[in-house]
Chain A
């Protein structure tokens, strides 16, 4: 659905995106994560046809974005981080304008405008001037604009930037609904909790380089092969730290009261053996389990380990 082939973009001596090679299948929600200046926005702007790559190609639904930009753009919905809307238009006029700009037939456009307005929850503001909308409402209107022409691909650049928690939750629900409808989403963000439980795949960007790309589960299990973080709790006095310290696969032990965290670099069998050892040393275990890694953990691991 979205293919980046040897994509490269330079600004003078700075290589903003270096030889990116990623393929995002249809219906996938792909999170592009990385710090500011990593090259996320450049990638999304090139994917929209807003920036010309220095080298490489981007195809969206099989259409080369830079050879046939207008055809490719009919498949794309785009939303940037901070943006303005035409304050002197009414909500429906704004959507009508973009519907026409995407060359939607008049017969479908009116119905679609009402449908989209309902989808983003702006029914009561349909005939209101945009200048009277709140920031969150404008963001929702931006999403409505991006999906007015029923694009197959949505490219969202930091869509939650500058939104309050309520508006962020609304946006999340809206994107979940779009995901359920089968849209392919490419979302860039440096606010990682925004992407949690939402993206199926992620790509970690650092200084223009794609450090790691794949499904969250795959990356997580790959990382777990190296080590996992285990949390445990117990009751009563027990030599937990002593037992853990005696095992060479354990590191970074942190004990606080009757709770502890440690890193474990071994197989599942080794972990079961460790639990058995704790029990045989008289530790009355209350809970014991691997800490599920969030996207944020993964990102921190990857960036700490692999990018200098």
Chain B
């Protein structure tokens, strides 16, 4: 493995971006901006009697400048890495990189640190200002160091995410938009869930690094902002600093992104498969484990206590909902291109190996993911016995619910696979639109005139609500969907069967 400073990709970016004239301009602009910001507060014309004390002023300035720094730095990294691969593809230079001896790891490191090199340089130019201001404001050096280390970690994770999107899309602008939404939307949503009064997942607030950094600055929690009080959150039922959970979250998400990129970076876009089948199952386990790690078991009470508090069955339904989404994601990630499906079929159609091969149908892996998720849930329920009796989890009901969800998810994914084999353009998108139309129609029709049909045609019956479906209706629904799945499997097999005339014709021509 090459040292970072000898990485060819990094050297290329350094040569292209850090030309003396560009560096001088960037340094001058960033220093000027910082100086102007400081002068705005320290201007001699400001009325000294109404102005805050010097230390308070330094605190305000430090917070303003550091926030601005973090925002610009993260967005810059996001933008640069979000275009790193797609723009090279558009220029047809990426193929040349792929034919060199650079490994995926070397290429990845070079791009993650090389593409936003000017952002790192600008950060370095403005860092002295914030450090001096922070120290003058009386903040410990450790807090400042931790802040910038976390900023670097966040930037690297964002860069990896942006690079992954850039690898998968031809339109970097769409990718950036998606990432921006994720960047601002998801942490806000997750931290809102985490910080809400009776939330069983207070650890979700650790997505916002700032919550964890707060105690290092010796800032008292704000009584009107619950989120500021979550400086320690439960992690596998141990109270740990929120910063620790932030680091674990970012490192683990970063590791998955790294795996995705290392597997696919040097592949053609058509050959990209984010994770292998076993890795997909591993990802299901990771998400379920993360959910359990962040779950505060002390907040969960039996149904007889305060109804506002979440009960074990509420958590069970949340678990079902999450796993339905995961199963869908697993199915979508395991959709196989028609060519690979055909070659897998030719190699192993007669044996069970076809079902477990990388080029097989998605459903065995969805089933494996569901089983793994369920076994993990049982294990977690056993571990949580000191807090909640095992019987309160209603494991049998959850198993039945998960099975129902699996049946519906398999049906939908088989339909999408069939769409792909039919040769539709953007089969996943078109198939999803068909499914959306189907669900809207099913819900509308059953809502108006055939109420028990909800459980026949939608997976809502899995959630154990008698209003959404009696057990008989749920059973009928499962049988119906299994029949549809079998029909779709037969249709897929028929499309995979090779036409007998093709090889003979080609051999005749080649001879």
Q: Is the CB of B96 within 8 A of A83?
A: yes
Identify the closest chain B residue to A76 (Cβ). B99
Which residues of chain A have C-beta atoms less than 8 A from B102's C-beta? Answer: 101
Q: Is the CB of B103 within 8 A of A70?
A: yes
* A41-93 interface (Cβ within 8 A of B): 45, 48-52, 54-55, 69-70, 73-74, 76, 78, 80, 82-86, 88-89, 93
Which residues of chain B have C-beta atoms less than 8 A from A52's C-beta? Answer: 267-268, 271
Partner of B93, one of A15, A70, A85: A85
Q: Is the CB of A102 within 8 A of B100?
A: yes
Q: Is the CB of A93 within 8 A of B339?
A: no
- Mark B residues whose CB is within 8 Å of A: 6, 8-9, 11-12, 15-17, 91-93, 95-103, 266-268, 270-271, 337-340, 342-343, 346, 423, 502-503, 506-507, 509-510
Q: Is the CB of B268 within 8 A of A12?
A: no
Q: What is the bound-complex CA distance between A210 and B98, given in angstroms? A: 27
Which residues of chain A have C-beta atoms less than 8 A from B93's C-beta? Answer: 83-86
Q: Given A73-B100, A74-B101, do A54 and B343 touch, yes or no (CB 8 Å)?
A: yes
* A211-254 interface (Cβ within 8 A of B): 211
Q: What is the bound-complex CA distance between A307 and B503, given in angstroms? A: 16
Q: Is the CB of B96 within 8 A of A210?
A: no
Q: What is the bound-complex CA distance between A11 and B15, given in angstroms? A: 39
Q: Is the CB of B92 within 8 A of A83?
A: yes
Tell me if A100 counts as interface (CB < 8 A to partner B).
yes
* A1-33 interface (Cβ within 8 A of B): 9-13, 15, 18-19, 21
Which residues of chain A have C-beta atoms less than 8 A from B338's C-beta? Answer: 10, 12-13
Q: Is the CB of A11 within 8 A of B339?
A: yes
Q: Is the CB of A51 within 8 A of B268?
A: yes
Which residues of chain A have C-beta atoms less than 8 A from B340's C-beta? Answer: 54
Identify the closest chain B residue to A21 (Cβ). B510
Identify the closest chain B residue to A83 (Cβ). B92
Which residues of chain B have C-beta atoms less than 8 A from A50's C-beta? Answer: 95, 98-99, 268
10 further A-B contacts with Cβ under 8 Å, apart from A73-B100, A100-B6, are A10-B338, A10-B342, A12-B337, A54-B339, A54-B343, A70-B103, A73-B101, A78-B99, A84-B91, A98-B96
Q: Given A18-B506, A19-B510, do A78 and B16 touch, yes or no (CB 8 Å)?
A: no
Q: Is the CB of B95 within 8 A of A93?
A: no
Q: Is the CB of A102 within 8 A of B342?
A: no
Q: What is the bound-complex CA distance between A97 and B15, given in angstroms? A: 10
Q: Given A82-B92, A89-B12, A209-B509, do A55 and B343 touch, yes or no (CB 8 Å)?
A: yes
Which residues of chain A have C-beta atoms less than 8 A from B337's C-beta? Answer: 12
Identify the closest chain B residue to A15 (Cβ). B502
Identify the closest chain A residue to B7 (Cβ). A100
Q: What is the bound-complex CA distance between A97 and B8, given in angstroms? A: 6
Partner of B506, one of A19, A89, A98, A100: A19
Partner of B92, one of A49, A73, A80, A102: A80
Which residues of chain A have C-beta atoms less than 8 A from B96's C-beta? Answer: 78, 83, 98, 145
Which residues of chain A have C-beta atoms less than 8 A from B343's C-beta? Answer: 10, 54-55
Partner of B98, one of A9, A49, A103, A211: A49
Which residues of chain A have C-beta atoms less than 8 A from B271's C-beta? Answer: 51-52
**9 A-B pairs with least C-beta separation:** A101-B100, A100-B8, A84-B91, A10-B339, A88-B16, A83-B92, A18-B506, A101-B8, A97-B12
Tell me if A306 counts as interface (CB < 8 A to partner B).
yes
Give min CB distance, A283 to chain B, whole Å: 43
Partner of B101, one of A18, A83, A89, A102: A102
Give min CB distance, A234 to chain B, whole Å: 42
Q: What is the bound-complex CA distance between A239 and B340, given in angstroms? A: 66
Q: Is the CB of B15 within 8 A of A89?
A: yes
Which residues of chain A have C-beta atoms less than 8 A from B12's C-beta? Answer: 86, 89, 93, 97
Which residues of chain A have C-beta atoms less than 8 A from B8's C-beta? Answer: 97, 100-101
Q: What is the bound-complex CA distance between A54 and B92, given in angstroms? A: 23
B interface footprint on A103-123 (CB within 8 Å = 1, 0 otherwise): 100000000000000000000
29 pairs from A and B in contact (CB 8 Å cutoff): A10-B339, A12-B338, A19-B510, A21-B510, A48-B95, A49-B98, A52-B267, A52-B271, A54-B339, A54-B340, A54-B343, A55-B346, A73-B101, A74-B101, A76-B99, A78-B95, A78-B99, A80-B92, A80-B95, A82-B92, A83-B92, A84-B91, A88-B17, A98-B96, A100-B8, A100-B11, A145-B96, A209-B509, A306-B509
Identify the closest chain B residue to A82 (Cβ). B92
Identify the closest chain A residue to B17 (Cβ). A88
Q: What is the bound-complex CA distance between A45 and B266, given in angstroms? A: 13
Interface centre among A84, A101, A210 (most CB of B within 10 A): A101
Give min CB distance, A38 to chain B, whole Å: 13
Q: Is the CB of A103 within 8 A of B101?
A: yes
Q: What is the bound-complex CA distance between A54 and B345, given in angstroms? A: 12
Q: What is the bound-complex CA distance between A83 and B507, given in angstroms? A: 35
Give min CB distance, B298 to chain A, whole Å: 51
Q: What is the bound-complex CA distance between A94 and B376, given in angstroms? A: 52
Q: What is the bound-complex CA distance between A80 and B510, given in angstroms? A: 26
Q: Is the CB of A211 within 8 A of B509?
A: yes
Which residues of chain A have C-beta atoms less than 8 A from B270's C-beta? Answer: 11, 51
Q: What is the bound-complex CA distance between A13 and B342, given in angstroms? A: 10
Q: What is the bound-complex CA distance between A209 and B91, given in angstroms? A: 30
Q: Is the CB of A97 within 8 A of B339?
A: no
Give min CB distance, B47 to chain A, whole Å: 50
Q: What is the bound-complex CA distance between A19 and B511, given in angstroms? A: 12
Q: Is the CB of A98 within 8 A of B509?
A: no
Q: Given A52-B271, A78-B96, A102-B100, do A86 and B16 touch, yes or no (CB 8 Å)?
A: yes
Identify the closest chain B residue to A148 (Cβ). B100
Q: What is the bound-complex CA distance between A306 and B509, given in angstroms? A: 8
Give min CB distance, A95 to chain B, whole Å: 12
Q: What is the bound-complex CA distance between A242 and B359, given in angstroms? A: 68
Partner of B503, one of A19, A51, A70, A101: A19
Give min CB distance, A61 to chain B, whole Å: 14
Interface centre among B9, B97, B101, B270 (most CB of A within 10 A): B101
Identify the closest chain B residue to A22 (Cβ). B510
Which residues of chain B have C-beta atoms less than 8 A from A211's C-beta? Answer: 509-510
Q: Is the CB of A12 within 8 A of B423?
A: yes
Q: Is the CB of B97 within 8 A of A101?
A: yes
Which residues of chain B have C-beta atoms less than 8 A from A103's C-beta? Answer: 101
Q: What is the bound-complex CA distance between A9 and B270, given in angstroms? A: 12
Q: Is the CB of A69 within 8 A of B266?
A: yes
Which residues of chain B have C-beta atoms less than 8 A from A18's C-beta? Answer: 506, 510
Q: What is the bound-complex CA distance between A33 and B51, given in angstroms? A: 80
Which residues of chain A have C-beta atoms less than 8 A from B266's C-beta? Answer: 69
Q: What is the bound-complex CA distance between A102 and B99, given in angstroms? A: 9
Which residues of chain A have C-beta atoms less than 8 A from B99's C-beta? Answer: 48-50, 73, 76, 78
Q: What is the bound-complex CA distance between A301 and B103, given in angstroms? A: 45
Give min CB distance, A202 to chain B, whole Å: 15
Q: Is the CB of B100 within 8 A of A98?
A: yes
Identify the closest chain B residue to A11 (Cβ). B339
Give min CB distance, A265 to chain B, whole Å: 22
Give min CB distance, A84 to chain B, whole Å: 4
Q: What is the bound-complex CA distance between A27 and B15, given in angstroms? A: 37
Q: What is the bound-complex CA distance between A26 and B283, given in angstroms? A: 47
Identify the closest chain B residue to A19 (Cβ). B506
Identify the closest chain A residue to B424 (Cβ). A12
Identify the closest chain B residue to A206 (Cβ). B509
Identify the closest chain B residue to A97 (Cβ). B12
Which residues of chain A have C-beta atoms less than 8 A from B423's C-beta? Answer: 12-13
Which residues of chain A have C-beta atoms less than 8 A from B100's C-beta? Answer: 73, 98, 101-102
